[in-house]
Homo-oligomer: A and B are copies of this chain.
């Protein structure tokens, strides 16, 4: 089995549970912004989760949805959008016209993040920008959980999917960060393409059981995720069989049994998105390797209060 250095950075252990900043630190700083990533890395959170989508001119950019997300995208006049154009229909230059520094308090989505800083003049970053900043000496401990969002509209367009992976992998290679990057997705067949194109980078498999899904106003991932209900094997077994090194379950899907199973199979278990203190303590108790959170400081506090580290000295 190949040993991937990037995988070890996400591995927990005795007295060690990792903290992963979700879209930077979405609870405190505009999500998927350079400011959020720099804040996370500066505040003892070198593990970053973020989302990559591709523009019409094939630039990998960092944003969660396939469409401009109306509650966080503002136009020239400073108003939140009322329609949601597709990222795949906009060029990089067009995308830079939108400001992502605020969140609409009138939206359900906005009401979930009442402490988030509100800033003007924040743009969607390219993957390249994040890779360049992460390459700086001051962030040498940073590792990236690079989620590739596969647009359901292109789910059966093999050429498009190859191009998406090619563009992403090319950026990572150009930055020299392939030993510090995980390729991460809900789309398992896309991860197979990643393994094919970039065997030197580990893959990380996201799951969410439909029965535990909550509607949180974001893109549905169900249409591109496997149907686990028809499988004989457990999810950890399926991840291993698919060549994955990390299993990243939704927090309500995690049990003591499936964590033990995953560990027995050599997988790392990184759970998303864990924000409530009671859930954080439950994940600590279940012995997961890593906790993905919008409030990484809150996770650090829960860990510190139990004498658990999140960084290796």
Inter-chain contact A305/B119, CB cutoff 8 Å: no
Inter-chain contact A300/B117, CB cutoff 8 Å: yes
- In the assembled complex, the Cα of A147 lies from the Cα of B45 at a distance in Å of 31
Mark each residue of chain A from 102 to 116: 1 if its CB lies under 8 Å from any CB of chain B, else 0.
110110000000111
- In the assembled complex, the Cα of A120 lies from the Cα of B27 at a distance in Å of 22
Q: Specify the chain B residue showing the minimal Cβ separation from A116.
A: B297
Give the contacting residue for A44; candidates B117, B297, B305; CB below 8 A. B117
Give me 19 other A-B pairs in contact (C-beta within 8 A), A28-B297, A29-B297, A118-B297 excluded. Answer: A29-B43, A35-B42, A38-B42, A39-B39, A43-B119, A44-B101, A44-B117, A44-B118, A44-B119, A44-B120, A45-B117, A105-B304, A105-B305, A106-B305, A114-B298, A114-B301, A115-B115, A117-B296, A118-B304
The winner among A38, A119, A297 for most chain B CB atoms within 10 A is A297
- Looking at chain A, what size class is its interface with the partner chain? 20 to 34
Check if A50 is an interface residue, CB within 8 A of chain B.
no
**Minimum-distance CB pairs A-B, first 10:** A105-B305, A117-B297, A43-B117, A118-B300, A44-B119, A115-B298, A118-B304, A115-B297, A116-B297, A114-B301
Query: Can you tell how many copies of this chain the complex includes?
Result: 2
- In the assembled complex, the Cα of A295 lies from the Cα of B35 at a distance in Å of 17
> Residues of B contacting A311 with CB < 8 Å?
120
Q: CB within 8 Å of B: which of A85-102? A: 101-102
Which residues of A come within 8 Å of B, CB atoms?
27-29, 35, 38-39, 42-45, 101-103, 105-106, 114-120, 277, 295-298, 300-301, 304-305, 311
Q: Specify the chain B residue showing the minimal Cβ separation from A303.
A: B118
- In the assembled complex, the Cα of A101 lies from the Cα of B116 at a distance in Å of 22
- In the assembled complex, the Cα of A117 lies from the Cα of B119 at a distance in Å of 21
Inter-chain contact B300/A114, CB cutoff 8 Å: no
Inter-chain contact A295/B102, CB cutoff 8 Å: no
Give the contacting residue for A301; candidates B29, B42, B44, B118; CB below 8 A. B118
- In the assembled complex, the Cα of A118 lies from the Cα of B29 at a distance in Å of 17
